[in-house]
Amino acid sequence: MDIDEELLAGAQRELHTDTKVATLNEALRLAAERAKVREAIAELDSVELDLSGSERSFRFNGGRDLGGLAERARREAAEAEES
């Protein structure tokens, strides 16, 4: 297998691994985990969520308006994808 040594060294620093095998296994694990998270987010995103009036729903000195929470999460996920 031909592996870019520069990329491998960077991955080892980032993943705190000592060997090529450990680095590749950890990178593969993270990639698979990321795919599962993406699938879970897509599943949750398919559910309609109405948080209007949420600021009145909390006890003890009122609450927070959560109406923009879903849009904020989508925006942050899109920004994370870009980086």
**Residue 68: pLDDT band with limits 50, 70, 90:** confident
- 17: Cβ contacts below 8 Å, ≥ 6 apart: 11, 23, 26
Total-model pTM:
0.55
Q: Which own/partner contact pairs does 77-83 have at CB distance under 8 Å and 24+ positions apart?
A: 77/41
- Per-residue pLDDT tens digits for 15-27: 999 999 999 999 9
Q: Which residue has the tokens 């990178």?
A: 27
Give the residue, 74 or 12, on which the prediction is more confident. Answer: 12
